[in-house]
Amino acid sequence: MSEIKLLLHTCCAPCLIGTLSRLPKTYEPIIYFYNPNIHPKEEYIRRRDEAKKFCGDKGLAFIEGEYDVEKWFEAIKNVKNYATEPEGGKRCEECFRIRLERTAIKAVSMKIKFFTTTLTLGENKNAQVINKLGKSIGEKYNLFFLQADFKKRNGYNKSVEESKKLGIYRQTYCGCVYSMRTNEWADIEKSYENEKLK
Ligand code: SF4
């Protein structure tokens, strides 16, 4: 059976590993790293380089999108209470939309009819929300969005195991400055609780 080219939006190497373990072999993935949400830039470079190296080792085509942080912030600021929205809320929905739409535009420019994303592999990522967005963006650009929940059927576990085995960096926060703060707050709260227990 001939392979179908698929533009695979990729957020990081660990999620890519898990997704590839679940992707049907009928697809030939072309990796598209478009993540202007990642803050700060050093972290962006670190995640990009890990994904790029992994692709190089596996012989996968890797394309880097623009790191257009200003445009990302402009769009995110239209979401009510964007800075305090919990992970998985409206801010994330907009963040998914930005990245999926850009992937669709890239697919059109490359004459690739199929696209999808590694985002559903994330433990806290709602596949239903992502699939619904992907489907409607696909319809807008006359493309086919491959709907999936890559975390399921061992996808997430595979991502953790393989990343550890290969010594691949796994981040401790989702990506944007707000998710970074959520983690910081969680740490601060934890140390405060520990203080109280002393
Ligand atoms: S928490 Fe993650 S998905 Fe949500 S807005 Fe931030 S980077 Fe995007």
Report mean pLDDT in 10-residue bins for the chain, 198 residues: 88 97 96 98 98 98 98 97 93 98 98 98 95 98 98 95 96 94 58 54
Q: Report the atom number in ligand 1 closest to the C-alpha of 178.
A: 6
Angle at 51 between CA 125 and CA 148, to 5 degrees: 35
Please give the distance, rounded to the nearest whole angstrom, from the Cα atom of residue 175 to the centre of ligand 1. 6
Distance 95 CA to ligand 1 centre (A): 6
Report residues whose beta carbon is within 6 angstroms of any ligand 1 atom.
Answer: 37, 87, 91-92, 95, 174-176, 178-179
For ligand 1, atom 2, the nearest C-alpha belongs to 174
* C-alpha span between 46 and 159 (Å, rounded): 18
Please give the Cα distance from 180 to 174 (Å, whole number): 7
Query: In a mutational test of the pocket of ligand 1, which residue from 121, 125, 179, 185 has the highest number of ligand atoms less than 8 Å from its CB?
Result: 179
Residue 182 has what pLDDT?
Answer: 64
**Burial annotation 94-124 (CB, 10 A radius, 16+ → b, else e):** bbbbbbbbbbbebbeeeebbbbbbbbbbbee
In CATH, the number for domain 4-197 is 3.40.50.620
Which bin fits 81, alpha (ψ -120 to 50), beta or left (φ > 0)? left
pLDDT at 181: 74
| Predicted TM-score (pTM) of this structure | 0.92
26 alpha carbon to ligand 1 midpoint, in Å?
31
**Which atom, in ligand 1's list, is nearest to the CA of 175?**
7
Instruction: Give the closest residue (by CA) to ligand 1 atom 6.
Output: 176
Residue nearest to atom 3 of ligand 1 (CA): 92
Q: Which atom, in ligand 1's list, is nearest to the CA of 91?
A: 5
